[in-house]
Structure 1
Amino acid sequence: MTNTERAARTRANLVLAAARRFDRHGYDGTALNHICAGAGVTLGALTFHFRSKAALASAVVDEGVRALQRIRTARPDTGRPLHDLTVLVLQVAGALQHDVLPRAATRLVEEGHVDSGWPGIWRAEVLRLLERAFVTGDLAPDVRPAAAAHLVMHVVEGAAHEARRAEAGGVWVASDVAEVWHAALGGLAAHPR
């Protein structure tokens, strides 16, 4: 293994170890020595790759948001807005439940420690799909797209919160996000499926 490959592996291990700590304890509750222990490196190795805890948190957000962006951009547009919204919601919620990088990224952004455009991009995409559903008559006539977008945000944030709580307790309690989403969708759709 070359020095470049070893450095890349060390950096990736640090980002993952930091994501685990940030996800569980938040930015303020995470100490660099705990990240080093989780990655199996010295503080010197950490500071070689990241000049500060803030720079490391920024790297975690970059990686986590990249994973969420891949979901958003890879999703095909079927022309059925509520179907497309369902696919998007379930994939993003699944990533937040099962991948610590996006979950830690969202926590760091929510806490205000790292600035990211992801929340705005995510909300805009959700709102765009809901507005299309309203125009096509797929959204119930008494449901405003902005209010529905707010509900979607709560469903997805709830999935992330539940996953974080389950991991902190050392026990995974699988939530059926699909069931919760379909119950919410029943109240949003003009013609419940």
Structure 2
Amino acid sequence: MTEHTGQVRGALTRERLVRSAAAEFALHGYDGTSLSRVCKAAGATMGALTFHYPSKASLAQAVCTAGIRATQARVDEADRKGQGPLQSVGKITGALAELLSADAVARAAARLSREQPPLAMDWRGSWLPLVRTRLHQAEVLDLLRPGARPESAALMVGSLVAAVEAGLLPQLGGALLPSPTVEEHFAELWQTALQGIGASQDSPVSAS
């Protein structure tokens, strides 16, 4: 086996382990995650796991790093689609809702960074500063209602995203919300929130 082949196999093994671990961390949290289940789902031995990730903490950090990178890429893409600061915030938060509902790595990064401060991984830091910046720009441009403060609006956005991350929207959907997907639920909530903070509504937003 050539060195290059070994490197490729190693990279594929790491990717499988991260994906499998993400599913575990997202569902069970750090303490509830079983490394044996991670290995079984990844089709890898415990020796392979400890070779690449000597501890559960190092595996969790790898998952967080992957989730933060994926989130930053999605957020940057969504921000470029915005045609104004408030629409950019809507695009960003809609993209986050879609990512959290579809990607276990992002969900795991969000949960681990919230539940495990010792990991020193900040998933919210991959998107919240940009949201704050856009909201401050909206204030400068008189796009916020009188009395609506950017920091309060950012807190509201953070709460909406936290609801998606915690899985609250799917639980509420059947009884209270008519839309069939988390993304559509979130778009409805954002439009309602925008009526409260925006001096004049941007055009409807979505993650697409």
Same fold flag (TM > 0.5): yes
Q: Residue type matched to 2:14 in 1? A: R
Q: Which runs of 5+ in 1 are unaligned?
A: 167-172
TM-fit CA distance, 1:164 = 9.8
The answer (yes or no) to whether the contact 1:15–1:60 under 8 Å persists in 2 is: yes
Correspondence for 2:88: 84
Q: 1:143 aligns with which of 139, 144, 148?
A: 148
Q: Identity over aligned residues, as a percent?
A: 39
2:30 paired with 1:30 = no
- Alignment length (residue pairs): 187
In the TM superposition, what are the counterparts of 1:1-193 in structure 2 within 5 Å? Answer: 2-74=5-77, 75-76=79-80, 80-112=84-116, 113-162=118-167, 174-175=181-182, 176-192=185-201
The answer (yes or no) to whether the contact 2:107–2:165 under 8 Å persists in 1 is: yes
Provide the secondary structure at the position in 1 that maps to 2:54.
coil
List, as ranges, runs of 4+ consecutive aligned residues in structure 1 with deviation greater than 6 Å. 163-166
1:63-105, CA deviations, whole angstroms, 9 ceiling, x for partnerless residues? 0000011123333275611011111111122111111111100
- What is the CA–CA distance in structure 2 between the aligned matches of 1:111 and 1:155, rounded to whole Å? 18
Q: Residue type matched to 2:134 in 1? A: L
The answer (yes or no) to whether the contact 1:23–1:164 under 8 Å persists in 2 is: no
In the superposition, relative to structure 1, how do residues 178 and 165 fare at CA in structure 2: closer, same or farther (>3 Å)? closer
TM-fit CA distance, 1:41 = 1.2
- What is the CA–CA distance in structure 2 between the aligned matches of 1:133 and 1:117, rounded to whole Å? 25
**Which is further off, 113-122 or 11-20?**
113-122
- What is the CA–CA distance in structure 2 between the aligned matches of 1:73 and 1:103, rounded to whole Å? 18
The answer (yes or no) to whether the contact 1:24–1:164 under 8 Å persists in 2 is: no
TM-score (norm: length of structure 1): 0.89
The answer (yes or no) to whether the contact 1:97–1:163 under 8 Å persists in 2 is: no
RMSD of aligned C-alpha atoms?
Answer: 2.1
TM-fit CA distance, 1:117 = 4.1
